[in-house]
Amino acid sequence: MKVLVLTNLFPTPWDPLRGAFNRQQFERLGRRHELHVLTAVDFRERLHGRRGDVQVPGLATDHFVFVCPPRLGRALHAACWLLSLLPQRGRRLRAAGYDCILASWAYPDAVAAGWLARLLGIPYVVKVHGSDLNVQATHALRRPQIAASLRNAAAVVAVSRALAGKAVALGADAARVHALYNGVDGTRFAPGDRTAARTRLGLEDGGGPLLLYVGNLKESKGCLDLLEAFAAMAATQPQARLVYVGEGACRGALLAHARTLGIEAQVRLAGAMPHEALPDWFRAADLLCLPSHNEGVPNVVLEAMACGTPVVATRVGGIPEVVPAHAGRLVPLGDRAALAEALAGATMQAWDHAAIADHARSFSWETNVDRLDAILQQAARRGAAAEALR
């Protein structure tokens, strides 16, 4: 098949680390079909200059500049998305002869992709990830647009059963909604020697547990909740350390609040890391901590478990579907006291790291891509049959 992928969740020269899960999935799908990935780049992001090169073997990649009203008019973003795309790439898209479109992210990407698919006369499949339904679809003017895009899609792929249920609640045909967990690269994410990993990372053995956060530093990911909970835990475990791997708007607030709490010496902000550097961070840590406010299924949870590292996270989205009791502890959203108690308890617990890693092996990219391939092929066949009837 010839498949057009439309998304904002893919590496670009302006954000080379973005959407590592999509890069892994699309690279594997590109070994089976001709895949063209067209990524939306916010015009404000372009102003900051290039930060690296992006080359993905087997994929034809391109981008267009998404121009939209800053701060205002979020309900118009899908229209702006399409009106940005068509003058820049419209002629090329009409001539390409695609069999179907895969839109990864519900708003504005999938909404605009649905309109484009109608213009091109081809089917489209929507992949939803988490806050695109958990947050975006709660807004009155965006919700009907998202709902329409899901109803009219040939299929909807959700990264968890919880998210699949939300798609159905928005009006998607349950028979065309598929829960499909992301995969883990088992050749890269696997158990290893903790001491050796810490040595490679330049982490001295502080004599206490090492807690790890990996993700965007933003409030909705729970990074500030984690800092408060860690401070409570550190009162009884003064040798404990907390490392944040990632960048984001909360970086300054984390540093300032760590100073206020008197734990600045125990907290390290390591910055963003390339995906291939993450395995050693997971192996070095005693726990991965991710107290997100909403989620689909975060890949860092799967990847940490693949390295045999237990997880402490919030009981939101699809996280309870993938973290069994023998692999971690889950706490209610927003309960910092419960989070602090879970962190302290988890650092004292004797974990079966081999069993955790064995559980994570069930999340396979090969299985994931097999199923996604079948979904796309079915959508293309239906689209071709409908076109023949017309």
Region 195-209 average pLDDT: 90
Q: At the fourth CATH level, which superfamily is domain 194-360? A: Glycogen Phosphorylase B; (3.40.50.2000)
What pLDDT is recorded for position 232?
Answer: 95
Provide the pLDDT confidence category of residue 176 given band limits of 50, 70 and 90.
very high
**Contact by Cβ (8 Å): 170, 191:** no
What pLDDT is recorded for position 52?
Answer: 80
Region 272-286 average pLDDT: 96
Region 166-177 average pLDDT: 97
Region 270-281 average pLDDT: 96
Region 322-350 average pLDDT: 96
As a CATH number, domain 2-183+365-385 is 3.40.50.2000
Reported residue count of the chain is 390
SS (H, E, C) the chain: CEEEEEECCCCECCECCCCHHHHHHHHHHCCCCEEEEEEEEEHHHHCCCCCCCCCCCCCEEEEEEECCCCCCCHHHHHHHHHHHHHHHHHHHHHHHCCCEEEEECHHHHHHHHHHHHHHHCCCEEEEECCHHHHCHHHCCCCHHHHHHHHHHCCEEEECCHHHHHHHHHCCCCHHHEEECCCCECCCCCCCCCHHHHHHHHCCCCCCCCEEEEECCCCHHHCHHHHHHHHHHHHCCCCCCEEEEECCCCCHHHHHHHHHHHCCHHHEEEEECCCHHHHHHHHHHCCEEEECCCCCCCCHHHHHHHHCCCCEEEECCCCHHHHCCHHHEEEECCCCHHHHHHHHHHHHHCCCCHHHHHHHHCCCEHHHHHHHHHHHHHHHHHHHHHHHHHC
Q: What is the pLDDT of residues 187-197, one digit of tens each?
A: 999 999 999 99
Domain spans of the chain? 2-183+365-385, 194-360
Is the predicted pLDDT of residue 164 greater than 90, yes or no? yes
Omega prior to 108 cis, within 30 of 0: yes
Provide the pLDDT confidence category of residue 69 given band limits of 50, 70 and 90.
confident
Q: How far apart are CA 129 and CA 329, in angstroms?
A: 23
Q: How far apart are CA 20 and CA 9, in angstroms?
A: 8
Q: What is the pLDDT of residues 139-163, one digit of tens each?
A: 999 999 999 999 999 999 999 999 9
What pLDDT is recorded for position 47?
Answer: 82
What pLDDT is recorded for position 204?
Answer: 82
What pLDDT is recorded for position 311?
Answer: 98
**Contact by Cβ (8 Å): 243, 278:** no
% the chain with pLDDT above 70: 99
Q: What is the pLDDT of residues 25-58, one digit of tens each?
A: 999 999 999 999 999 999 988 888 888 888 888 8
What pLDDT is recorded for position 109?
Answer: 97
Comparing 283 with 68, which gets the higher pLDDT?
Answer: 283
Is the predicted pLDDT of residue 250 greater than 70, yes or no? yes
What pLDDT is recorded for position 18?
Answer: 93
Q: What is the pLDDT of residues 95-145, one digit of tens each?
A: 999 999 999 999 999 999 999 999 999 999 999 999 999 999 999 999 999
Domains 2-183+365-385 and 194-360 share a fold: yes
Q: What is the pLDDT of residues 307-334, one digit of tens each?
A: 999 999 999 999 999 999 999 999 999 8
What region, left, alpha or beta, does residue 281 occupy, with left being phi > 0 and alpha being psi -120 to 50 degrees? alpha
Provide the pLDDT confidence category of residue 390 given band limits of 50, 70 and 90.
low
